[in-house]
Amino acid sequence: MTTTRLPQVPLFEIRGSPRTMGRMLGEQAGDLIRDMLYTYRSFMQQASGFSWAEAVRESHNYLPYAQAAYPQYVEEIVGIAEGAGVSFQDAWLLNCYEGVAEDQKLMACTSIAANDDVTADGHVYLGHNEDWIGGDSQHVYLVRATPDDGPAFLSVSYGPMLCNLGFNAAGIGVGINSIYPTDVRVGVPQVVLSRAVLAAERLSDALRACLHDRRASGYNHLLADRSGEIFSVESSATRHDVLYAHEGWLAHTNHYLSERLQAIEQRFVYASSTVRLRRAERLLRRLRRLAGALSLEGLQTILRDHVSYPDSICKHEVMTDAPHDRSRTLISMIMDLTELTMWVAPGPPCCGEYVPHRLESAAAPPKSDAAVPARQPQTGSEGELRFWSDATRAVLGQSG
């Protein structure tokens, strides 16, 4: 038996104006940014049907919309490119990747949220497995940002992408799921809108940011805030619906749940997405029923689940797939919006430990970093990868 212990995810600190924050990020994450550009160059033609130069030209069509809506985030990308010593055009292209490589259909990401009505400690949690192209596992990092304008935030990003997942000092968190509507168009890239959510001071601002009227396509944005409000904002380019956590929890994967959006959803079998959603929903109900309430550890258990492996919530690569179609969980996170702490495990999370990172600056590192309970990762054959703590095993042992 081999023992796997994945390295922790790097954390970069940035502060200042959009341009300055971008430059600080580009300087610190330069190696990751340049390597991601190199990797995407190698499969752009296969993934999108465009050569790199054609894809760059295609991505320019989105720029006027982003500049009109959020010039400060375009400026942030300018800074990222400057800091990393890469061209703005290349960095911008990756921020438009889902629009340019529109035919690529990655069934990626599972998000869950639970509020103080159903959690054992009365905290509000937002969990997210970030599934994307496996090669990007080398390009993922955390950002702790203190903008001149707007709330500080703690985010996950990779390469030259804008921060688009995480939570802010107002206690607003966002997890995103790719979805596949038929009304895609040239407009403001989804990543830019998710960056705007991280700047929201109130939930209504977060909803408005998700639903900008000139969006290029849509995501599902699972939004939660420290007061315990949880919404799933399902959007396409021209339609949206807002689902609410009436029972104190929600889960979402890569297909629409609203009939209004299902009417314009691309027609193919959302097999992995359906299995992951139903499994997450059942585990949320079951863990709550068996344990009396949902715990942080219970949520970690869900994000490490292997039913329908490797197309599971804890997603693993199928090595026979083409490199650009080979998706896996790159990083797993559970945001504690009550404590403004993000528990982060490098992906897939069955192989790693969740480590807490507080939004507070590095000047006051979380003392709990040293107090994470020791875990014993166990990897047997790939198909039998299991990683349960004793407590988790005790709960799940009753559920089979």
Binding residues for Zn ion, rule: CB under 5 A, are 314, 348, 350
What's the min distance (Å) between Cβ of 305 and Zn ion?
Answer: 8
Q: Which amino acid is at 247?
A: E
What's the min distance (Å) between Cβ of 244 and Zn ion?
Answer: 31
Please say which residue, 192 or 351, places its beta carbon nearer to Zn ion. Answer: 351
What's the min distance (Å) between Cβ of 181 and Zn ion?
Answer: 30
Token couple for 176: 């995103």
Please say which residue, 65 or 388, places its beta carbon nearer to Zn ion. Answer: 388
What's the min distance (Å) between Cβ of 2 and Zn ion?
Answer: 15
Please say which residue, 324 or 328, places its beta carbon nearer to Zn ion. Answer: 328
What's the min distance (Å) between Cβ of 318 and Zn ion?
Answer: 13
Of the chain, the end-to-end C-alpha distance in Å amounts to 24
Dihedral-angle region of residue 49 (phi above 0 means left; psi in -120 to 50 means alpha; beta otherwise):
left
What's the min distance (Å) between Cβ of 300 and Zn ion?
Answer: 12
State the DSSP code for 188: B
Nearest in space to 393 (alpha carbons), one of 308, 266, 291: 291
Q: Are 37 and 97 in contact, with CB atoms under 8 Å apart?
A: no
Nearest in space to 40 (alpha carbons), one of 121, 132, 114, 107: 132
Residue 362 exposed, middle or buried by CB count within 10 Å (0-12, 13-18, 19+)? exposed
Residue 274 exposed, middle or buried by CB count within 10 Å (0-12, 13-18, 19+)? middle
Please say which residue, 298 or 348, places its beta carbon nearer to Zn ion. Answer: 348
> From residue 192, how far is each of 7, 31, 215, 229, 274 by CA, in Å?
29, 23, 9, 23, 27
Please say which residue, 196 or 314, places its beta carbon nearer to Zn ion. Answer: 314
Please say which residue, 2 or 204, places its beta carbon nearer to Zn ion. Answer: 2
Q: Are 141 and 9 in contact, with CB atoms under 8 Å apart?
A: yes
What's the min distance (Å) between Cβ of 114 and Zn ion?
Answer: 21
> From residue 240, how far is each of 70, 114, 208 by CA, in Å?
21, 23, 11
Please say which residue, 314 or 335, places its beta carbon nearer to Zn ion. Answer: 314
